[in-house]
Chain A
Amino acid sequence: MKAFQFVTATSPERARDLLGNNGRFLGGGIDLLGEMKEYIAQPDTLVDVKAVPDLHRIDQTDKSWSIGANVTVAELEDHPDLKSVFPGLQQAAAEVGSRQIRNVATLGGNLAQHSRCWYYRQRDVHCLKKGGDMCYARHGDNRYHSLFTGTTCISPVVSNLAIALAALNAAVVVQRGPNNLARMSIADLYARAWENPISQNSLDPGDLILRVELPVQNRRSAYLQVSDKSAFDWALVSCASAGGIQGGKLHQARVVLGAIANVPYQVQAANQFLEGKTLDEDNANKAADLMLQGAEPLSDNAYKLPIARALIRRTLLQLKA
């Protein structure tokens, strides 16, 4: 990899200052070091943000939880209360990579991780996302790519946590400028990936994720994914559902799909349809139809549709339990 400066930040403001023109924040490094070793990313400065105070905390109240950006994926997986309050998030965390990766990977880094498209990650292929002039995947081997393909880059969002957090209506708190804290929904956090092939998320250089805030609304949640292998494999499709159940009826449901679009894929019409409905196969299937309307599979990935359909139904039905 290219030589770089390594500096440690002790406050969010300091982290931003240290970044310079071509710096990157360093969380666990699972993603960033991989990119650097392949010379895909060549920062001059790495700003280690793991020593920033408070970013490693999990604060819980009856109304909401706040999870710091430096909390590791393994800590989410193992947290004694998370499993009962936000089972969907716990399941999503438990499916990330391998235990070794989860021990090191952070929440902030997981949300801000870059594309996993195998063309993007190939050192000698210079695709659109790297500033080249074509997308190799669109007419190439796109078995792992998006189903919603109206975008120029079709590399899907693959963060498990983003999918679960979107279903849980989380807000991401970002340090954006010296006295500027931005509050973004998960949809906001990825919106730019939909518009701009170079981007994988909406963060500007210098934007530092501080924490994620989750409302506790007596909600239930579930996350499921299907991969080629039983474990330590990326999701072909992932799905998280969350909602409250009162008198046997579903309220404020959110269903989110991962690995099938550049953003955690949500469809308002599907969520609205589910409002006040009984949770049964029929309603779950109808919600799936609404979610998947307009999908435009590529040459190699139409198989993701039936998987998505099954996962929507299964995560919704899990909310009953």
Chain B
Amino acid sequence: MPSWPEKHTYIGAHTRRIDGPAKVSGTARYTSDVQPSGWLYGMILRSKWPKATITSINLEKARKLPGIKAAILVRDCPRTVRYYGEELAAVAGTSKQACLDALRSIEVEARPLPFVVHEEDAKDEGSPRVWDKVANLSKPRLDEHGDVDKAFAECAAVVEGFFTTPVQIHNCLETHGNTISWTEEGLTAWSSTQGITSVRDGLAGNLDVPQSQVRVISEYMGGGFGSKFGPGVEGAVAARLSKEAKAPVKLMLPRFDEALAVGNRPSSFQQLKLGATAEGKLHAFQMDNYGTAGIGSGGVTEGGGGGAEIRMPYIYHVPNIRVRQSGVNVDAGSARAFRAPGHPPASFGMESIMDELAVKLNLDPLELRLRNDPSEVRRKEYRLGAERFGWTEKYRKPGSSPGPIKTGVGCAGATWGGGGHGTHAEAQINPDSSIEFRCGTQDLGTGTYTLIAVVAADLLGLKPEQITVRIGDTRYPPSGGSGGSTTAASVSPAIYDVCMNALQQLQERSSITDARGPNWAAACKKLGVEPLIVSGRWQRGLSSSGAGGVQFAEVRVDTETGFVKVKKITCIQDGGMFVNELTAESQVNGGILMGMGYALYEGRVMDRTSGVVLNPNFETYKLTGLADTPEIDVVLLDMPERGVIGIGEPVTIPTAAAIANAVANALGVRVSSLPITPAKVLAALGKVKPVA
């Protein structure tokens, strides 16, 4: 079995992103920067109806407008649309304004149908059905073991609660989109994607083009979080427009559209019951949960993991459990995988009820976790984190902090699988000693360029700046999608293999016994005129899966205005061998800020009467901002014996739960619904009179 060398120069160090200068100076090419000659703008006409039979769409006027080069139907009529914003038609033209004018000239005849957009309404038998033949609320799936009723009767303490989480929108800073050129020679797509290969396969399948004739390029991209694995309707449409217009088409979605049709995290409505023995050992658990994944509830949607089910009782082992879960369809866009699908809502519900139980048992919530968390690593992290965070000094009985502005603390844990998968890579070593790595992975923004440079530099005794990294092109040896915290664990072993093969071959051809570091240039020179091309692939033993991680939150809550300020988050995150601590810390920071958004600000708002999304912009869909950012203390628990493990997902999982617990600790009452807004804090405190 291969293994990582014990001594490192760059692995585990803090290396700045090798593409940092390109990003900050604007030379890094994102999809929207690509401008092949003769390119056109593409735009999509979306349904204004939350549900309707579309009887006809007339594109004639649009086709005749100056500057318009193509106009297509997304699907033939008659057809049914099932949410506000579903794609109807698309145009390509020489200017943005020409396309906007063309969209407005398209005549759509529709027969509006009754619709339903709120989960609470949709699950009612009498409400309009999203799909004629199936009830909106699916039959609950039951997961039961042990004698739950008997077990609850045996418990010394039992707590119950109802916890809700909203539909969260990915809202990647770079919107979804592609620039696509489809000619007789084939199709080239510059794509904002976390899976160049899956986009290639999606386009090839959709458009009936051999995979060998589809090339997908993603040099740089601005976030996917699970929503950017496939080409999407917008990708297929861009390709069709390109074919019709005989020109490249750039179709980047406007921010508005991101709230409608390109994925989201399902909501959850969790009725929970948890019981423990007098010794504080979890004994019985019950959950009834439903949530919506939009029109495609329950099923696995693009990218996987788009269903509304959550994994309960999350990280805990409870001997007697009864879990019933349903999905509920509403007339809204489908869910897609979203950073740790199913975990943040599970963590919020479970860790909240754990703290309620701790109160009932008169136990410190940290102690309850230490008694029940089955993971030794997490228990160690709790102890370490508690010390760093100052848990013992900061923890007080719920609601006992004096004055109108109260402080509180909370904690929560995470789990994630991840792991590596088949990745191929190659390197070209030139006689002038330059070296280029090629791998068909992509940099989701996590620092994959730098990761490859760090691994290669470390193993070859070079500096990261000496390594040229080429990724994000399906012409390079294939890797998988960047999702599920798998990229680092997939790519690093392949680069390791390339480096080992490279050294062996270089040493053979140059007769230099150790071609690394100081001997590198001399060895390369001996190649003469023929560069060395070596390949490698993912190897077992260099990466693994399974990370935990715990977070502690400290908040300040103004009980007169309901305003919550997060003062500090401490994160203890295990991984395996951290390849680059700087970019790993960056992942943690990003995960925490995203988790804060889930805790305090985010949530799609649908309007019952009109069926539209009311907050399709950053003004009313609120995201964590600079001024909201707390002090973040990160400890990476390096465990090199485990090989490389990705941590992109676990770092966002427990944040919301820890914050919610801290708020409850500050107030002495719980806000059991995310996001925790001033309105909900004041309501929990009994300061808002219900309106008749």
List residues of A whose CB falls within 8 A of some B CB.
1, 3, 39, 118-119, 122, 124-125, 136, 139-141, 143, 226, 228-234, 236, 297-303, 305-307, 309-311
Contact = CB atoms under 8 A, between A and B. Distances in A.
B677 interface: yes
Contacts of A118: 605, 614-615, 620
B5 to A, nearest CB: 46
B691 A299 contact: yes
Given A229-B627, A230-B625, A306 B614 contact: no
A251 to B, nearest CB: 27
A306 B605 contact: no
Contact of A143 (B48, B97, B600, B679): B679
Contact of A140 (B600, B607, B678): B607
Nearest to A304: B679
Interface in B647-692: 677-679, 682-683, 687-691
B55 interface: no
Interface in B596-612: 600-601, 605, 607-610, 612
Given A118-B620, A119-B614, A231 B562 contact: no
A122 B612 contact: yes
A94 to B, nearest CB: 12
Nearest to B614: A118
A23 B89 CA distance: 33
Nearest to B47: A124
Nearest to B687: A306
Contact of B691 (A141, A302, A306): A302
Nearest to A226: B561
Given A230-B628, A232-B627, A297-B689, 20 more contacts: A39-B104, A118-B614, A119-B610, A122-B614, A124-B84, A124-B612, A125-B610, A136-B610, A226-B562, A226-B678, A228-B622, A229-B624, A230-B625, A231-B625, A301-B679, A302-B689, A305-B688, A306-B682, A307-B678, A311-B561
Which of B84, B104, B558, B627 has the most chain A CB atoms closer than 10 A to its own CB? B627
Contacts of A302: 688-691
Contacts of A307: 560-562, 678, 682
* B-side interface mostly: loop
Contacts of A305: 688-689
Contacts of B565: 230
A309 B562 CA distance: 12
B605 A226 contact: no
A315 to B, nearest CB: 12
B614 A141 contact: yes
Given A119-B607, A297-B691, A311-B561, A303 B614 contact: no
A275 B689 CA distance: 31
B217 to A, nearest CB: 31
Contacts of B476: none
B561 A310 contact: yes
Given A125-B610, A139-B609, A231-B625, A306 B560 contact: yes
A233 B610 contact: no
Given A118-B614, A118-B620, A303-B562, A140 B691 contact: no
Given A118-B614, A125-B612, A236-B678, A229 B560 contact: no
A124 B610 contact: yes
* A-side interface mostly: loop
Contacts of B683: 303
Contacts of A140: 607-610
Given A229-B627, A229-B628, A303 B607 contact: no
Given A118-B614, A228-B600, A307-B678, A233 B622 contact: yes
Which of B97, B561, B620 has the most chain A CB atoms closer than 10 A to its own CB? B561
A276 to B, nearest CB: 27
Contacts of B561: 226, 306-307, 310-311
B30 interface: no
Contacts of B607: 119, 125, 136, 140-141
A222 to B, nearest CB: 15
Contacts of B560: 306-307, 309-310
B627 A230 contact: yes
A231 B626 CA distance: 8
B162 interface: no
Given A231-B625, A303-B688, A306-B687, A141 B605 contact: yes
A303 B679 CA distance: 5
Contacts of B679: 143, 236, 300-301, 303
Rank and list the top 5 A-B pairs by shortest CB-CB distance, nearest first: A231-B627, A303-B679, A310-B560, A230-B627, A306-B687
Nearest to A225: B561
A140 B613 CA distance: 12
B316 interface: no
B563 interface: yes
Nearest to B49: A124
16 contacts: A1-B97, A118-B614, A124-B84, A140-B610, A228-B622, A228-B677, A229-B628, A230-B628, A231-B625, A234-B619, A297-B691, A303-B678, A303-B687, A305-B689, A307-B562, A311-B561
A311 B561 CA distance: 8
Nearest to B606: A141
Interface in B251-303: none
Nearest to B46: A124
Contact of A124 (B48, B601, B678, B691): B48
B685 to A, nearest CB: 9
Nearest to A307: B561
Contacts of A143: 679
Contacts of B627: 229-232
Contacts of B615: 118
Nearest to A299: B691
Nearest to B627: A231
B583 to A, nearest CB: 27
